[in-house]
Structure 1
Amino acid sequence: MGSAGNAPEEGRRRSSAAAAAVADGRDVGETFLVYDLFRAFWTRVVGLFFREIAERNAHLIPKTGPVMFVVAPHHNQFVDPVILLMHAMRRVYFLAAAVSMRRKFIGFYGRCLRGIPVERQQDLAVVGSGHIHLEDRYSEPTLVSGIGTRFTQELEPGMKIALPRSAGMAKVTEVLSDTQLHIAREIKDLQAMELLTQPGGTKYKAVPHVDQDDMYRAVYSRLNNGECIGIFPEGGSHDRTEMLPLKAGATIMALGATAANPELGLKIVPTGLNYFHPSKFRSRAVIDFGQPIEIPPELVEKYRRGGDAKRESCDELLRTVADGLKQVTLNTPDMETLRLIQTGRRLYRPTQHSLTMAQQVELTRRFIKGYNTYRDLPEVKELRERIADYDQQLRYYGLRDHQVETMRIGRAHAGALFVWRVVWLIIMGLVALPGTVLNAPVFVVTSVVSKRKARAALAASTVKVRARDVIATWKIMVALVLVPLLYTLYSVMAVVFVRRTPKWAQTDVLQQLSQLSTVSIYLWGWTLAAFMSYTALIFGEQAMDIVKSIRPLFLTLIVGAEHTELLARQRENLSNDITELVNELGPQIYPEFSNTRISEQLGTGATTHANLINGTADAFHRKMREGEQAIRQRIAGARRASSDGDDDEGDGGADNADVGDEGDSSTEPAARPRRASKYTFNPPTPRTMETLNSISPMEFLSTVTTFTPLLGSLEAGSPNAAGDAADTPRGGDAAKRGTQRGAEPATGASTPEARRGLFYFT
């Protein structure tokens, strides 16, 4: 046999040896002590890479007995398993590609974590000689002919031929000659038919048959011992916005193990991984555990019968697992739809409190379901266009959504905050500068290497979009090698500097250091380098947050609050409409829908990984915010002192919000009335609100047209308007006049005009 025949034989031998070692406990990681040490090490490393990793529903994981974690989507190559190890609270052993386990570095850690190697056919595939085509697709659809091929040397019955661009594979049943062979089934896929019928044929790969019996025995052994198995059923990592089609291997393992041991009690736990920015340093992630799936006895019985019944049982269980994964993952057809959903979720206001990261992911999942259900409604189409327009304006201004709501401040307020944050930025920049300079080679090398690896992975894959799934892995791996080497170099340089500094140039500190041993100086150099890096991480992270918050302040200083107010009002109008539409349509999808119990519905989640860096950074950030609050109070006090005491002027709402992080608000009055806006939302003055408070909400909603001219006169500053409104009896002539003018109750209205609510009286 040629090269195509030798490769699969070598692969089968390696896979059998590795799986046998795993099964009988001869691998390096069989000792739990080694496993626990390496798990602790990797969880600390990955925890340093991410700013926050939250989990939902970890209490659903069975505390004892065999468990199979089915994890998707596989968005972060070797990082995904570690995040599961951090939150599963049980020892989990992953199935890993044998080609990865054969690498020195990855294979060593994989064996220490008791990974189970899986030989994949695509990893052993080799390019075949010549081109293949179908001579007569109608009379002999299973006869494949070759041009310049060597079928007798490169193929044998049981192997497969794979077409380019993942167009499909076909199993070889008989090799007739070097230029002819038979396949098991007729090819019906249009893309495959186009390749096989084009002039000159198409290239192909010879895919060997891989015996997975040893791997299955290793899995069954672990499950029978009451241990946990982790598997990524998509078959490989990717960066798409939806899950890839699931492979049947997980269901074969589950049904096979249960069929061999009816008392096994295996549970399948669907596990979703959701990243905010998977390839960025200090980003965030959420891991979500679904309801455990039990293996139905009727499916086990069908599996035992074999043949078509076995395939049907695997397909049915696979559909159940896929449904479970859809409940814990985010799936959209493209990135544009995902951005639309995420913007709509941010604009929706379920409560007056901010949501946790886990709740944000669950709310996004519900928005996806709602959008897919009602995307053809005219109201949803209108909101989709408005959201797209709003996103375009954000890109024009260079802002983020959460910064828009905080731009309603005057130039004086914006100027004070601008100066305050620039001062803090300079201070933190000076503190973080030494550590940043020391680690600059790490940042440069990890960026260059990860991008090169991403390009190589993209070229070798047919499912990746930009190959971002490998970037974080390579950043971590390169940093693990480069950081110790760099710190060692700095420590050696410190030793040389202390020992060889001329006496006339030595300071008191250097003279004291020179009395220490070389090893002590070396260790002090390592400690100093690590401390400076830690400091740079804390202060640099906060500095970047301040840099992002400076732009809206700068825009307010340049163009003034009058212009930025338009974008803020557009956001508020859009937020009101989205909230009303979601509150109306939500109960039709989720019967338990209630915006007053959002935390109970979405789950509070938990951040079980909170390292020292996060705590220190949060404490430092609080100090800065306390200083900003003091500035706001001084500005508010100065304005009150210069005011003439007349509270009848409209406050304008221009100074009601802080610039920077979400959630802060200030209530000081504005210096002048707000300019008229082209939008319909005009918040009432304090005197108008006093009048409205004297009217029952249901009475107002049912007689909105009655009070429209009244409120208009109030906003215009009529001196007797408030008194006239206060004297209007509840439920009396006002209600009758409203009914006579054709006012309709707002309750139950379905059109956008009827649903507008309290602040749309124009």
Structure 2
Amino acid sequence: MGESESTATNPSSSNKSTNFINVFFRLLAYDTITWFFNLIIHTFFRDVQTRGSFNIPQEGPIIFVIAPHNNQFVDGLVVMTKVKEISSRRISFLIAKKSYNKRIIGDAAKLCGAIPVERAQDLLKPAIGEIMVDSNDDKIIIGKETNFTKQCQSKGLIGLPDNLGNTKVSEIIDDTKLILKRPFTSSNKETQDKINTVLKNGTKFKTASQFDNHVVFQNVFNHLNQGGVLGIFPEATSHDRLQFIPLKSGVAIFALGAVSQQIEKFQNGEINQITPVRVVPIGLSYFHPHKFRSRVVMEFGKPIIVDQNLAQEYNENSKDSINKLMKHIEFKLKEVTMNCNDYETLMVLQAARRLYTSGNRKNIPLPMVIEMNRRLIKGYEQYKDQPDVKELKNSVLEYNKQLMRLNLHDHQVESLNRSTRIHNIWMFSKRFFTFILFMSLSLPGIILFGPIFIIAKRISKIKAKEALANSTVKIKAKDVISSWKILVAMVLAPMLYSFWSIIGTIIIIKFKILGKYQPSYIFIFLYFYCWAILTTYASLRIGEIGVDYYKSLTPLFLSILSINQDNFQIEKLKNTRNELRIKVNEFCDKYGPGIFKDYDEFYKKYNKIDDEDGDEEEYEIISNETVSNQNKLNRQISGSSDSDPENVSNIPIMATSDSDHGDEHSPIRSNEPEEAEEQGKFNKETSEVVTNNNNDDDDSVQVRLRKSMKDKQFDE
């Protein structure tokens, strides 16, 4: 009897042990690769800051919905590493099966527990015959030597060659005629012209059958209902636009479907309670995302709680429930991101922000800069048709052109010709010597790692051209550049370090530099390998300081060489700047109170950071560069009135030295979108079924930013 019981229980105990070991190694693999990615992110970016991390739930299922998707694979790495660092939650991302099956990227995705998603557009295959559009209706496709009834499927996809786009089939009339759900279109004028040309003259085409996503959905439901964390980019593809591309509804289906399945299991007695799914919006704001040693700010919005009531409505009317939730998600995403109609307007508003904050620029942390940009964009969009606003925009545009002609940045204007020529010569000589000193110290690392910089830059440009040719949403495809720079460096850096280590080992042994003492070849090789890595990293940090000094040389040099006529132009430029500063302040004072309830608290305290006021409010910055300075910057702040004090009290303020702060604040990219998406308006009905209150439109971030950094000091 005892033996039979033992044999009966052993398999169960063996299964538990096996499951425990599997979970342990999965977590170990995830944490190891996250640690590795964290090193990469902190090497590529000079500064990574987060804001609103208290909005991350410490338990229960979460869907992180992330936008804009401006940096391809890098976006996922930034979010995954920072969320793990801040909250110890482990994210599983949805990834296209096409990428999941690739080497390196796919292998890393598997170790991180990514869930592959097979997309219909990845299944497109060439079909027989040619197609053209009907001259009277661009939804009607006419075939030549085609067999639509066998080649195509209703609700399936039909695509054009050269990645000119694809669309769904609405109805198949016969073998040579079908109706599209939507015509072939592109927001890119050049791409649209190509589409019109090939459809007019006749073109080859591709088809794909209707794709069943139920398997993917079920995998996601299981993951969430086990308390897992999911990361989704609702735009579904990376891009380099200033606004969102249309969001996919998958995130709403995942959240509602997961809770709906819980309801079914609860009714069947399989579970004891229903756990809501929390959808947390994340906004990514890059400062020159494709450039090495740039900056990024990641902002977490308030969670949207998808509970039992929403799931029941989803069961009754899935389409309406999905639409309502997607509107709310888009609304919340816009609260934590910047969306501007065009690049010219963005540049004007960033110049206006610099003019408004000229006196305190070095004291203002990056997350607050992002919020200021966001508010200026909102104010401009609301009052852009006013005559005084149009006049101000034109004046700022002309001021920017003057800066470009003089090869200056706005933050350098105030320092022009302030002192005597002798003083300027002394300052220039001192800073130039310091620049030469630091760049000389960084020279060994430049020589060691220089080939990788050159190769990575060239390959990333080639890949950007390929991505642009294969996309209908990208403008200059700058969103793929940083990803390819990192991928190239990951592959070539070990090879290059090995090469230098072999050369060093050969020199040591051949010339007997160590004399009679001859350690093993492996020891010498490893010594040189570690030396090469440390030298490169030290050179990187030292070189950064040298570059900062280099950026300060231009205004001093102009002041030294300026003649009377140049002095007149410089003084005129400074007067122009001062006039614009006054106009920008008048614009904010005139229109700000009508848009933002906290105008006095935010804008005035924003521009008077050094004022004494003991009633500080909550604000959080977490910077990878200043963890070591936490004791030095140990200032504590109290919870805000509209937040949970248990979540946000006693948060340390940390920030970084920002020598070129005024110049580097150019989020997103230097490109120009072809069209602007309409501002999504939140459906009032959503507030009745989604927990988060809709009144956060104007002041969802108001309290967290007030007066927070008034004592904050940046090292120069």
Task: Give the TM-score range, shorter chain.
Answer: 0.7 to 0.9
Match of 2:279, SS state, is strand
- Alignment of 1:450 onto 2:452: no
User: Equivalent of 2:41, from 38, 41, 46?
Assistant: 46
- Which residue of 1 is the match for residue 58 of structure 2? 63
- Which residue of 2 is the match for residue 479 of structure 1? 489
CA RMSD for the aligned pairs?
A: 3.2
- Alignment of 1:365 onto 2:374: yes
> For residue 568 of structure 1, what is the amino acid of its counterpart?
K
Q: Could you tell me the TM-score, scaled by structure 2's length?
A: 0.76
Task: Report 1:294-309 matches (<5 A).
Answer: 294-295=305-306, 297=308, 299-305=310-316, 309=317
CA offsets, 1:718-751, max 9 Å, x none? xxxxxxxxxxxxxxxxxxxxxxxxxxxxxxxxxx
CA-CA distance at 1:172 after TM superposition: 5.3
- Which residue of 2 is the match for residue 605 of structure 1? 620
* CA distance 1:170–1:497, change in 2 (3 Å): same
User: Equivalent of 1:547, from 545, 550, 569?
Assistant: 550
* CA distance 1:412–1:198, change in 2 (3 Å): same
Match of 1:511, SS state, is coil
Q: Are the equivalent residues in 1 in contact too, given 2:92–2:229 (CA < 8 A)?
A: yes
- Alignment of 1:418 onto 2:424: no
Distance in 2, Cα, partners of 1:188 & 1:237: 20
User: Equivalent of 2:515, from 498, 511, 515?
Assistant: 511
- Which residue of 2 is the match for residue 727 of structure 1? none
CA offsets, 1:158-202, max 9 Å, x none? 52223577666232554743x34x447586989899959965445
* CA distance 1:116–1:661, change in 2 (3 Å): closer
CA offsets, 1:489-524, max 9 Å, x none? 1111111101112x6xx5xxx437x52222221122
- Alignment of 1:435 onto 2:445: yes
CA-CA distance at 1:385 after TM superposition: 1.0
Distance in 1, Cα, partners of 2:379 & 2:590: 11
Q: Are the equivalent residues in 2 in contact too, given 1:442–1:482 (CA < 8 A)?
A: yes
* CA distance 1:351–1:259, change in 2 (3 Å): farther
Distance in 2, Cα, partners of 1:290 & 1:450: 33
Q: Are the equivalent residues in 1 in contact too, given 2:153–2:169 (CA < 8 A)?
A: no
> For residue 217 of structure 2, what is the amino acid of its counterpart?
Y
* CA distance 1:135–1:370, change in 2 (3 Å): closer
> For residue 259 of structure 2, what is the amino acid of its counterpart?
T
- Which residue of 2 is the match for residue 151 of structure 1? 148
- Which residue of 1 is the match for residue 327 of structure 2? 319
- Which residue of 2 is the match for residue 668 of structure 1? none
CA offsets, 1:72-123, max 9 Å, x none? 0001111111111233221111000100001121111000000000111112
CA-CA distance at 1:603 after TM superposition: 6.5
* CA distance 1:116–1:252, change in 2 (3 Å): same
- Which residue of 2 is the match for residue 470 of structure 1? 480
Q: Are the equivalent residues in 1 in contact too, given 2:157–2:166 (CA < 8 A)?
A: no
Q: Are the equivalent residues in 2 in contact too, given 1:92–1:230 (CA < 8 A)?
A: yes
> For residue 366 of structure 2, what is the amino acid of its counterpart?
M
- Which residue of 2 is the match for residue 355 of structure 1? 364
- Which residue of 1 is the match for residue 579 of structure 2? 573
- Alignment of 1:497 onto 2:498: no
User: Equivalent of 2:396, from 387, 390, 403?
Assistant: 387
Distance in 2, Cα, partners of 1:608 & 1:452: 33
> For residue 356 of structure 2, what is the amino acid of its counterpart?
Y
Q: Are the equivalent residues in 1 in contact too, given 2:95–2:117 (CA < 8 A)?
A: yes
CA-CA distance at 1:205 after TM superposition: 2.6
User: Equivalent of 1:170, from 161, 168, 171?
Assistant: 168
CA-CA distance at 1:472 after TM superposition: 0.6
Aligned residues: 584
Match of 1:104, SS state, is coil
CA offsets, 1:136-175, max 9 Å, x none? 968xx98743113243553344522235776662325547
- Which residue of 2 is the match for residue 131 of structure 1? 130
- Which residue of 2 is the match for residue 593 of structure 1? 599
- Which residue of 1 is the match for residue 289 of structure 2? 278
Distance in 2, Cα, partners of 1:248 & 1:449: 35
Distance in 2, Cα, partners of 1:91 & 1:385: 48
* CA distance 1:30–1:214, change in 2 (3 Å): farther
> For residue 105 of structure 2, what is the amino acid of its counterpart?
I
User: Equivalent of 2:158, from 158, 161, 172?
Assistant: 161
Q: Are the equivalent residues in 2 in contact too, given 1:76–1:469 (CA < 8 A)?
A: yes
* CA distance 1:26–1:220, change in 2 (3 Å): farther
In the alignment, structure 2 segments of 5+ residues that lack a partner are 1-18, 187-191, 264-273, 610-614, 633-658, 663-716
* CA distance 1:184–1:457, change in 2 (3 Å): closer
- Which residue of 1 is the match for residue 222 of structure 2? 221
* CA distance 1:317–1:473, change in 2 (3 Å): same
Match of 1:170, SS state, is strand
* CA distance 1:554–1:116, change in 2 (3 Å): same
Match of 2:72, SS state, is coil
Distance in 2, Cα, partners of 1:464 & 1:135: 28
Match of 1:587, SS state, is helix
Q: Which structure is richer in relative contact order (CA contacts within 8 A, separation 6 or more)?
A: 2
- Please tell me whether Structure 1 or Structure 2 has the larger radius of gyration of its CA atoms: 1
Distance in 1, Cα, partners of 2:412 & 2:197: 55
Distance in 2, Cα, partners of 1:196 & 1:555: 52
Distance in 2, Cα, partners of 1:114 & 1:25: 16
> For residue 305 of structure 2, what is the amino acid of its counterpart?
E
> For residue 489 of structure 1, what is the amino acid of its counterpart?
F
Distance in 2, Cα, partners of 1:602 & 1:187: 52
Greater mean alpha carbon deviation, residues 127-136 or residues 386-395: 127-136
CA offsets, 1:7-36, max 9 Å, x none? xxxxxxxxxxxxxxxxx9999997111111
User: Equivalent of 2:409, from 400, 417, 421?
Assistant: 400
- Which residue of 1 is the match for residue 210 of structure 2? 209
- Which residue of 2 is the match for residue 700 of structure 1? none
- Which residue of 2 is the match for residue 522 of structure 1? 525
Distance in 2, Cα, partners of 1:119 & 1:326: 28
> For residue 80 of structure 2, what is the amino acid of its counterpart?
L
Q: Could you tell me the TM-score, scaled by structure 1's length?
A: 0.71
CA-CA distance at 1:360 after TM superposition: 0.2
Distance in 2, Cα, partners of 1:441 & 1:67: 43
Q: Are the equivalent residues in 1 in contact too, given 2:509–2:518 (CA < 8 A)?
A: no
Q: Are the equivalent residues in 2 in contact too, given 1:274–1:330 (CA < 8 A)?
A: yes
Distance in 1, Cα, partners of 2:261 & 2:551: 58
* CA distance 1:662–1:70, change in 2 (3 Å): closer
Match of 2:442, SS state, is helix
* CA distance 1:526–1:163, change in 2 (3 Å): closer
- Alignment of 1:374 onto 2:358: no
- Which residue of 2 is the match for residue 564 of structure 1? 570
Q: State the identity %.
A: 35
CA offsets, 1:544-600, max 9 Å, x none? 112221111110001155542322222122112201221221111001211343379
Q: Are the equivalent residues in 2 in contact too, given 1:167–1:192 (CA < 8 A)?
A: no
Match of 2:252, SS state, is helix
In the alignment, structure 1 segments of 5+ residues that lack a partner are 1-23, 619-659, 664-762
Q: Are the equivalent residues in 2 in contact too, given 1:399–1:552 (CA < 8 A)?
A: yes
CA-CA distance at 1:133 after TM superposition: 3.9
Match of 1:146, SS state, is strand
> For residue 589 of structure 2, what is the amino acid of its counterpart?
N
Distance in 2, Cα, partners of 1:372 & 1:80: 28
> For residue 364 of structure 2, what is the amino acid of its counterpart?
L
Distance in 2, Cα, partners of 1:520 & 1:26: 35
CA-CA distance at 1:130 after TM superposition: 2.8
- Which residue of 2 is the match for residue 689 of structure 1? none
